[in-house]
Amino acid sequence: MYFYLPIAEMSANIFLFLGMGGAVGFLSGVFGVGGGFLMTPLLIFSGVPPAIAVGTEAPQIVASSVSGALSQWRRGNVDVKMGVVLLIGGVMGAAVGVQVVKVLREVGQIDMFISISYVTFLGIVGGLMLIESVNTIRKTSGGRKPLGRTSRHNWIHGLPLKMRFKRSKLYISAIPPLMIGMFVGFLAAIMGVGGGFIMVPAMIYLLRVPTSVVVGTSLFQIVFVISVTTVLHATHNQNVDAVLALLLMVGGVIGAQLGVRAGEKLRGEQLRALLAALVLAVCLRMAYGLIAVPGEIYSVASVIGGAH
């Protein structure tokens, strides 16, 4: 069954995009990420223009994140105070990112910028997470207790504007969470992601938030930041395809509920290792797309006048 996507200007198989939404929603529930780092490339691989993929993925992230966040909330895994600080920074970063997308579309460089951003950030984050997770698993399987969060006092604890985050059992400056939120909000706008693949490792390794709290708090923040990003994209860039977004949202909500249940059966280091492997796989696919020779090298004539 096919639908016509008015903004993307293409026909779409309803079952294909429902399945994509469900798969990414499942990952959202398991890992506490919005899933945009996977969905946006999948949409691009399916023929959706990159700018449309970025804008349209935002509503789907909201739907799957709301579903996952509510499940985490019922389990007491959300640090609301930490989430609000991250949210304030995220909204500011998203506002800047939407303007950057607008400028890049006007100069015709948005497609290349999105691809390079994906390869760069996914490669760095995925590599670091995989190394740490594998080392932790090896120490655990060898009978040694992993060091975990032994380095409780680092440079973050010397910063001003300290706040107490009771659910995370932390007393740290509000500046690092604010800056992390700003960076993630910026990425959400320019890459069509919830930013969980940055947010989750940053909260674990920089802020030392317990893994059990990270997932729920990350989803809580993603819901509000991406909602703002969706509105900004729709009003400023007109690159949100409502029909496609609806298909992805329906699948995402169902998948997120299943993902939350599956995530409870895995240990923290196992979750991080699986997420790292997935991030690297998407990175490699995007990198291949940058260096592969296109099927039609010469396709400029129709654009500059269609002379025959």
pLDDT value at residue 143: 59
Q: How many CA atoms lie within 13 A of 259 on its CB side?
A: 34
**3-state DSSP assignment of residue 204:** helix
271 domain-assigned: yes
> Which residue matches tokens 């299943």?
258
Is residue 227 situated within a structural domain?
yes
Residue 77 scores a pLDDT above 70: yes
Q: Which pLDDT score is estimated for 245?
A: 79
Comparing 58 with 177, which gets the higher pLDDT? 177
Q: What's the pLDDT band for 300 if we cut at 50, 70, 90?
A: very low
| Element (DSSP H or E) covering residue 89 | helix 80-107
Residue among 69, 17, 37 nearest 241 (CA): 17
Range of the domain at 52: 2-142+155-291
Q: How far apart (Å, rounded) are the C-alpha atoms in residues 89 and 104?
A: 23
Distance (Å, whole) CA 156 – CA 262: 34
Look at the chain and report how many structural domains it folds into.
Answer: 1
The average pLDDT across 145-164 equals 61
Asked if the structure places residue 308 within a domain, the reply is no
In a domain, 150, yes or no: no
Q: Alpha-carbon torsion 116, 117, 122, 128, what sign?
A: positive
Q: Are 34 and 199 spatial neighbours (Cβ–Cβ below 8 Å)?
A: no
Rounded Cα gap, residues 88 and 225, in angstroms:
9
Structural contact between residues 70 and 28, judged by C-beta atoms closer than 8 angstroms: no
* 108 assigned to some structural domain: yes
Q: Does residue 306 belong to any structural domain of this protein?
A: no
Q: What is the mean pLDDT of residues 179-199?
A: 78
The whole-number average pLDDT for the span 42-63 is 77
What pLDDT score was predicted for residue 302? 41
How far apart, in whole angstroms, are the C-alpha atoms of residue 126 and residue 287? 14
Residue 11 phi, psi (nearest 5)? -90, 145
- Identify whether 148 is part of a domain: no
Query: Would 149 be classed as within a structural domain?
Result: no
